[in-house]
Structure 1
Amino acid sequence: MIIKKYTGKNEEEATEAARGELGPGIVIMNVRQVKKTGFFAFLKPSQTEVTVALEEGDLPGRQSSVIRPEDTDATGKQGTAMKKSSFSAYVSDESGTASRTTSGTGEQLARAVSEGRIPPLRVAQTEGEIDSKLDDLQALLHVATVRKNGQKQNDPQASPNGIERDSEREETDAMVASESGAVYGSVREASLRMQNASVSKEESAKTLADFSRAHQRSDLPEENLSFIKLLYNTLLENDVNERYANELTDEVEKISKPDMPLEYALANVYQKMVLKFGPTEIIEPCADGPKAEIFIGPTGVGKTTTIAKLASRLYVAEHRKVALLTVDTYRIAAAEQLRTYASILEIPFRVIYSIEDMKQAAEDFKDYDFLMVDTAGHSLHNEEQKTNIVNFIKTLQEAMESESFLVLSATTKYRDLIEITDTYKTMVGDYKLIFTKMDETAVTGNLYNIRMHTGASMSYITNGQDVPDDIAVFNAQKIVKVLLGGSTRAE
């Protein structure tokens, strides 16, 4: 993983510098204002510093500048390298001794991030937001480091290693401990459900047995192995596919060393998951001419309502010229629903019956910013309907710049999602992902599964029926927090 900092007059300039060196696949990890130093520094304007990350595989030939515990020194001695690169070597208390108390970890991590000694743990826009998000990570860590000496999870005055906490940290620690109790309770409850469910007991036992065989490192202390198992069980409980859960725990195990603090492992897996989701891609206007936004997907996932939400935002909030088109002539209700939305917004609406109609619409709305196109949901085995949609899309692609959004329900089973995404891939090629009905499910693992399976960019999620409010830009940080057990649902 490559993590670098760039400065500029503003965020845009610094980000462009990062893209110029590392390419378009960067993920912005942190943005902050920095003041120049030196004589007359107060007369100089502050600059914007952007911290970005990139998977090493995305930039061939370039090595990461991030120090890792597995790095060795020039002589190949791992012991010295571990001493230099272990997380505790970066984060020390004022006396210079490394601290492993979970009570002070959040504060130490925040200080280390701000000083640039370690990469930021969470994607954030302000330093205050970083502190808040570090508390969330701290809650997860606290779950993993609970001792077996009878310590109570919800006791804000307790410390895992018996060290008393500073008085100025009591309020923050109480908050962290409270959240830790909620996290621990949800993870513990999930674990008990797995153990007690008679239908899935044998399957769960087999899964955990396979996990135990796959993770047999005898050199790791029990605390580290327990953390890896907790991570694995939490991912499975949130419907992350076993293959991807194993990949993540394998990566944690590879970087683990007997004396490496768990906070490093937790930070690493968090960063890995956020980076695997990649940059979120939303609807952007063309520099010149109209742009067709084509919405595809199976029946009943909420394509029409999603189009109405996005059209409302583009027209009302961004003051864009928007026209609504539908090629769904199979369902009268869908066309009428879109017509109603268009009437309320006072924007053009047209039903497309043929290729000639589509060509005419492209010509008539050539001065518009966006053409939002609704397509018919269909059976994956109906070749005639599939061919019709492909022909409409090709016509638009020949007339103007266009992009496709595959709309999926978060409540759909994983196996069905695989078939749907593969079918539309053969139909239209590249597409971006929108997940609907997030308010109707308690697990979000399929968002990660489908992103990993398709490699398609994430765009939006919807969490209700209200137009235009119940839609949001996809936020990888929130989803990863849910997947790691830090929250009960994606907000």
Structure 2
Amino acid sequence: MIIKKFQAATENEAIMLAKNELGKDAIVMNIKYIKPKGIYKLFKKASVEVTAAVDEENSYTDGKKMLSEIKKINDNSVSTSAPVNPSLAKKEVLAVKKEENPLFSNPNIIIEPEEEEKKNESETAIEQRLNELQYLLEAQMKVKKETDSLEREQEEKTESKNEACIKLISEKLIQNEVDELYAAQLIKEIEKGLNADASVDNILSTVYQKIILKIGQPKPIEVEEGKTKFIYFVGSTGVGKTTTIAKIAASLKLKRKAKIAMVTSDTYRIAAVEQLRTYANILGVPVKVVYTETEMEDVKREFTGYDIVLIDTAGRSHHNEAQKEDIKRLIEAIPKEEREVYLVLSATTKYKDLLEIAKTYEEITDYNLIFTKLDESDCIGNLFNIKMATGVPLSYTTWGQNVPDDIGQIDAQNIAKKLLGGNR
């Protein structure tokens, strides 16, 4: 049996090719529709491949007919005595066949089967290699596309997670009355150094550390051997200056064994002098009342040799220019290198008013900050706001009336936790 494959543009053409070559007894065994793949699809159309078979006995039918025709041509074109050139005869027969059978004009008809088969095999091998290469490239592109897609999805998820976490942190800061300007500034700074795959704990830790760094180290009152320090406490009426002085005096005397003296110029508030004298008597420290800056010179001479002299000033309105001048003269009565000033602010005061008070005292002198009444406020964002707005050191915080308790140095870690919603 002879089995061969034939390709043509349509099924009928492929079958006709098979019948013409193998004879009318050829049987179609398989029909395959071929779509070009790889780079061939750019310039090659789809085709039909027909697999046909015929018994070898039947395949000689057309061959006998061809020999008969060759014999007739030879009889008509040459004498019987003349030798016949087989090669020439074959060419002439093929020429006749080509004229008689229009299928010979079809370039798909195989004239030399063996050579054509070799050619087809070579082309098939090349096409197979190209297709394999194309499949490989397509597979690689598919894998890359899937990988890129997964990476994009992961990045989007990471960005979405980070954005949600940062947004929540920002909302919590603002909820705790951190000014939106400083909250946005804080978030912007941490976003710059934030890894794309940062965890929620990592983000929170970064914000926590950033807040601590911005609050900075506390600036408490230090005792220096052989030097007398004059410590002024200034601020508005009712912020708790006198009670704060008593707490600090008790801490310095009991814990540091410092030699303490007290001075008050708050002669405007009823019982202010008596309140300070009561604390002084309990602690066993001297107290002196002054009315003018001139009297501060006498205080300086009298208390030379003491470690710390704590000076309570009268509450003054930051809107009253005359009162501002009184405070300025009282402070400047002591040389700058011998004095320190602490501005006492209440955590319950509105942020706008705190800014005005801080600005007013900046015009008078350099100062450190003390915040009182933390127990009377649910939010401590103003501590952070004023620190950011002024840049001056934070020193102490107070949270009650108990003397010598309810006072401590600024705890940046505790403030950061509270600003982020913890340890309330």
TM-score normalized by structure 2? 0.62
- The share of aligned pairs that are identical, in percent, is 49
2:226·2:305 contact (CA, 8 Å) conserved in 1? no
290, 306, 330: which one pairs with 1:368?
306
Structure 2 CA distance for aligned equivalents of residues 256 and 323 of structure 1 = 52
Find the residue that maps to 1:433 and give its secondary structure: strand
1:434·1:460 contact (CA, 8 Å) conserved in 2? yes
Structure 2 CA distance for aligned equivalents of residues 267 and 408 of structure 1 = 29
Structure 2 CA distance for aligned equivalents of residues 223 and 465 of structure 1 = 45
**One-letter code of the match for 1:357?**
E
1:305·1:467 contact (CA, 8 Å) conserved in 2? yes
Give the match for residue 387 of structure 1.
325
Cα deviation code 1:50-99 (max 9, x no counterpart): xxxxxxxxxxxxxxxxxxxxxxxxxxxxxxxxxxxxxxxxxxxxxxxxxx
354, 360, 367: which one pairs with 1:423?
360
2:252·2:258 contact (CA, 8 Å) conserved in 1? yes
Aligned length: 270
Cα deviation code 1:251-307 (max 9, x no counterpart): 232233432333332222111110101111111012422101110111110000000
**One-letter code of the match for 1:224?**
N
Give the match for residue 183 of structure 2.
245
Cα deviation for residue 335 of structure 1 reads 1.2
1:346 aligns with 2:284: yes
Cα deviation code 1:329-366 (max 9, x no counterpart): 21231111101111121211110012221101100100
Distance 1:289 1:256, change over 3 A: closer
Structure 2 CA distance for aligned equivalents of residues 373 and 256 of structure 1 = 47
1:432·1:458 contact (CA, 8 Å) conserved in 2? yes
1:219·1:258 contact (CA, 8 Å) conserved in 2? no
223, 227, 230: which one pairs with 2:168?
230
Give the match for residue 222 of structure 2.
284
Structure 1 CA distance for aligned equivalents of residues 277 and 195 of structure 2 = 61
Give the match for residue 161 of structure 1.
none
315, 327, 346: which one pairs with 1:377?
315
Distance 1:381 1:259, change over 3 A: closer
Give the match for residue 131 of structure 1.
none
Structure 2 CA distance for aligned equivalents of residues 392 and 286 of structure 1 = 23
Structure with larger Rg: 2
Find the residue that maps to 1:371 and give its secondary structure: strand
Unaligned runs of 5+ in 2: 1-154
1:240·1:449 contact (CA, 8 Å) conserved in 2? yes
Cα deviation for residue 382 of structure 1 reads 1.6
**One-letter code of the match for 1:448?**
F
Unaligned runs of 5+ in 1: 1-216
330, 338, 346: which one pairs with 1:401?
338
Structure 2 CA distance for aligned equivalents of residues 365 and 462 of structure 1 = 28
Structure 2 CA distance for aligned equivalents of residues 401 and 464 of structure 1 = 30
Find the residue that maps to 1:396 and give its secondary structure: coil
Give the match for residue 458 of structure 1.
394
Structure 2 CA distance for aligned equivalents of residues 263 and 346 of structure 1 = 51
Give the match for residue 423 of structure 2.
487
Structure 1 CA distance for aligned equivalents of residues 160 and 285 of structure 2 = 63
Structure 1 CA distance for aligned equivalents of residues 166 and 230 of structure 2 = 46
Trace 1:133-144 onto structure 2 (pairs within 5 A).
none
Structure 2 CA distance for aligned equivalents of residues 218 and 292 of structure 1 = 60
Structure 1 CA distance for aligned equivalents of residues 275 and 315 of structure 2 = 15
**One-letter code of the match for 2:419?**
L
Give the match for residue 307 of structure 1.
245
Give the match for residue 233 of structure 2.
295
Cα deviation for residue 218 of structure 1 reads 6.7
Give the match for residue 412 of structure 2.
476
Structure 1 CA distance for aligned equivalents of residues 293 and 189 of structure 2 = 50
Find the residue that maps to 2:378 and give its secondary structure: coil
TM-score normalized by structure 1? 0.53
**One-letter code of the match for 2:357?**
I
Structure 1 CA distance for aligned equivalents of residues 198 and 397 of structure 2 = 37
Cα deviation for residue 378 of structure 1 reads 1.2
Cα deviation for residue 367 of structure 1 reads 0.8
Find the residue that maps to 2:239 and give its secondary structure: coil
1:437 aligns with 2:383: no
Structure 1 CA distance for aligned equivalents of residues 164 and 309 of structure 2 = 53
Structure 1 CA distance for aligned equivalents of residues 379 and 176 of structure 2 = 5
Find the residue that maps to 2:329 and give its secondary structure: helix
Structure 2 CA distance for aligned equivalents of residues 415 and 218 of structure 1 = 40
Cα deviation code 1:173-201 (max 9, x no counterpart): xxxxxxxxxxxxxxxxxxxxxxxxxxxxx
Structure 1 CA distance for aligned equivalents of residues 198 and 375 of structure 2 = 39
Structure 2 CA distance for aligned equivalents of residues 335 and 388 of structure 1 = 18
**One-letter code of the match for 2:233?**
F
1:220·1:257 contact (CA, 8 Å) conserved in 2? no
For structure 1, which segment, 277-286 or 295-304, has the greater mean C-alpha deviation from structure 2 after superposition?
277-286
Structure 2 CA distance for aligned equivalents of residues 416 and 302 of structure 1 = 17
What is the root-mean-square deviation in Å for CA atoms of aligned residues? 1.6
Cα deviation for residue 219 of structure 1 reads 8.4
Cα deviation for residue 401 of structure 1 reads 1.1
Structure 2 CA distance for aligned equivalents of residues 447 and 218 of structure 1 = 37
Find the residue that maps to 1:324 and give its secondary structure: strand
